[in-house]
Amino acid sequence: TILIIDFGSQVTQLIARRVREAGVYSEIAPYNKAEEAIARLKPKGLILSGGPASVLDSDSPLPPMAIYEAGLPMLGICYGEQAMALQLGGGVEAEHNREFGRAFVEVTKPAGLFDGVWSVGERHQVWMSHGDRVTATPPGFEVVGTSENAPFAMIADEARKFYAIQFHPEVVHTPDGARLLTRFARDIVGCAGDWTMAAFRDQAIERIRAQVGDGRVICGLSGGVDSAVAAVLIHEAIGEQLTCVFVDHGLLRQGEAEQVVDLFRDHYNIPLVHAEEADRFLDALEGVGDPEAKRKIIGGLFIDVFDAEAKKIGGADFLAQGTLYPDVIESVSAIGGPSVTIKSHHNVGGLPERMKMKLVEPLRELFKDEVRDLGRELGLPDAFVGRHPFPGPGLAIRCPGGVTRDKLAILREADAIYLDEIRKAGLYDVIWQAFAVLLPVQTVGVMGDQRTYDFVLALRAVTSTDGMTADFYHFDMDFLGRAATRIINEVRGVNRVVYDVTSKPPGTIEWE
Ligand code: XMP
């Protein structure tokens, strides 16, 4: 086990993920619980994360000195480097030339951390994001690499196996970062590297059993992969103590509700309540155009319906949710960091307070592709596990402006044609998410000598590995032409199709 000590970086979970990818189990503990976590987990190595604070502030988060005396190999990243430098007797200063984004480090001395990965004299691209920098090495350390604005970009104390680096090895913009973290986790720390998703599954099952005891759990199914994987996992852990509630808000894609019901009732035989409440949701959404207002209405009604169904089945002690890590990080602020709500994801927050139930969220640490691996591990059909993500508020946030039954019907039909063309072209699995958006804009066209005045449909497709950043998919124009022609010919109400070429950032994947 490797313990990751968190100082509130937005990308701490990426460190955990890279360590998992190296086949090593890791857990994250906040910096002020580090000592307890070391006692409990008995890790073989420590990683100190980055963070938004400055070690120079009087109230900056610093770990207890005991972590340095535990005799464990340690890797400090960014803020973690500065914390190590400061606490172990080096120097840190506020930076005049701050470095953000791509930078290059030059390896100046051999060090265990990059032995076999980088050699002396080489320059390598890394991702930096820091305002402070180390200005003096602590006793026992020496500089092993520099960058233009960080002369102490990499420092090492080989005797104690302490390494500290100014850049972020966990992000993809540091191309060799995963190899450095693997080198640390396996060779420096000495973990075996045989941890797998099967092990995660077994650990998760144990944790669910320990948390739930003989209590009753209800789980809301959304139609998507995450809640389905959470439900199947929990069912493996506690069997009949679980009941699933599928709130059908009438905002799903074509054929989706039927698939969910078939999968759960027939394939898995998991007790399932199918609450068909489309009218309630659509009535409440009438005339509402603001994206956050729509999200709040849907989230609120979802809770009402869920609550009522839960009462009907006699209540439960726990509420299970398929919350993933990106949902958590985009909806709440990290410790100490400024809180910025980008979107109120409707599966985090709200429900638990209202229902006074404890939460079971077994996927909270995972990224989407890891959830898919877990789903396969649990025997979910490939076609289901491989489905593109779908947002909780459903098609409502793909109808900018007001949502009506007519618009939803148009959108469903067009979306199904678009996805059909994507499947036929063999592109479904290389694309992270593809969908249509029905714009509240009508334009003039001509069809068979007749003037038309119909809606514009936008097509979106992105590649991504975790939904946190994304690039628009580069279709060839023939494909787009084919999809557009079919949609305009087959779907009444659409006479123009456009393609969205915005990446995230600055866009988000969904339009609302
Ligand atoms: P954005 O649009 O924020 O989306 O770039 C990132 C990923 O999250 C999905 N998404 C949601 N998922 N509830 C969910 O369960 C939500 O409220 C929600 N909003 C966006 C989106 O489809 C993409 O995969």
pLDDT of residue 369: 86
Please count the residues of the chain: 512
Q: Helices then strands (H, E): number in the chain?
A: 15, 18
pLDDT of residue 335: 36
Helix (H) or strand (E) holding 40: helix 34-41
| Torsion angles phi and psi, residue 161, rounded to 5 | 55, 45
Q: Give the pair of three-digit tokens for residue 31.
A: 């910096």
Using H for helix, E for strand and C for coil, what is the string for 364-425?
A: CCCCHHHHHHHHHHCCCCHHHHCCCCCCCCHHHHHCCCCCCHHHHHHHHHHHHHHHHHHHHC
- pTM metric for this prediction: 0.78
On whether the CB atoms of residues 45 and 19 are closer than 8 A, the answer is no
- Domains of the chain and any CATH numbers: 2-188 (3.40.50.880), 197-385 (3.40.50.620), 404-499 (3.30.300.10)
Q: At what angle do helices 477-490 and 405-424 cross, to 10 degrees?
A: 140
Give the span between the Cα atoms of 458 and 159, in whole angstroms.
59
Residues with catalytic function: 78, 168, 170
Q: Measuring from atom 6 of ligand 1, which residue has the nearest CA?
A: 467
253: CA distance to ligand 1 center in Å? 15
Helix (H) or strand (E) holding 442: strand 433-447
Give the span between the Cα atoms of 77 and 241, in whole angstroms.
43
Ligand 1 atom showing the smallest separation from residue 344 Cα: 17
Q: At what angle do helices 278-285 and 291-312 cross, to 10 degrees?
A: 150
pLDDT of residue 96: 67
Give the span between the Cα atoms of 376 and 207, in whole angstroms.
20
CA distances from 230 to 179, 323, 324, 330, 399 (A): 31, 9, 10, 20, 28
Give the span between the Cα atoms of 505 and 484, in whole angstroms.
26
- Tell me what ipTM this predicted complex has: 0.98
pLDDT per residue over 65-106, tens digit each?
999 999 999 999 999 999 999 999 999 998 766 777 889 999
On whether the CB atoms of residues 226 and 371 are closer than 8 A, the answer is yes
Task: Please work out, in degrees rounded to the nearest 5, the angle formed at the alpha carbon of residue 68 by the alpha carbons of 99 and 44.
Answer: 95
342: CA distance to ligand 1 center in Å? 10
Q: Is the CB of 388 under 6 A from ligand 1?
A: no
Closest to 398 (Cα-Cα) out of 435, 437, 431? 437
Closest to 185 (Cα-Cα) out of 43, 79, 70? 43
The per-residue pLDDT string of the chain (512 residues; one tens digit each, 9 = 90 and over) reads 999 999 988 888 899 999 999 999 898 899 999 999 999 999 999 999 998 889 999 899 999 999 999 999 999 999 999 999 999 999 999 876 677 788 999 999 999 999 999 999 999 999 988 778 899 999 999 999 999 888 999 999 999 999 999 999 999 889 999 999 999 999 999 999 999 999 999 999 999 999 999 999 999 898 889 999 999 999 999 999 999 999 999 999 999 999 999 999 988 999 999 999 999 999 999 999 999 999 999 989 988 998 899 899 998 999 998 988 777 665 543 333 333 455 666 554 556 666 778 889 999 888 888 999 999 999 999 989 999 989 989 999 999 999 999 999 999 999 999 999 999 999 999 999 999 999 999 999 999 899 999 999 999 999 998 787 899 999 999 999 999 999 999 999 999 999 999 998 899 999 99
397: CA distance to ligand 1 center in Å? 10
Ligand 1 atom showing the smallest separation from residue 470 Cα: 5
| Torsion angles phi and psi, residue 248, rounded to 5 | -95, 100
Helix then strand then coil, in percent of the chain rounded to 5, is 35, 25, 40
Q: Is the CB of 296 under 6 A from ligand 1?
A: no
Mutate to test the pocket of ligand 1, among 510, 511, 512 (most ligand atoms within 8 A of CB): 510
Q: Is the CB of 433 under 6 A from ligand 1?
A: yes
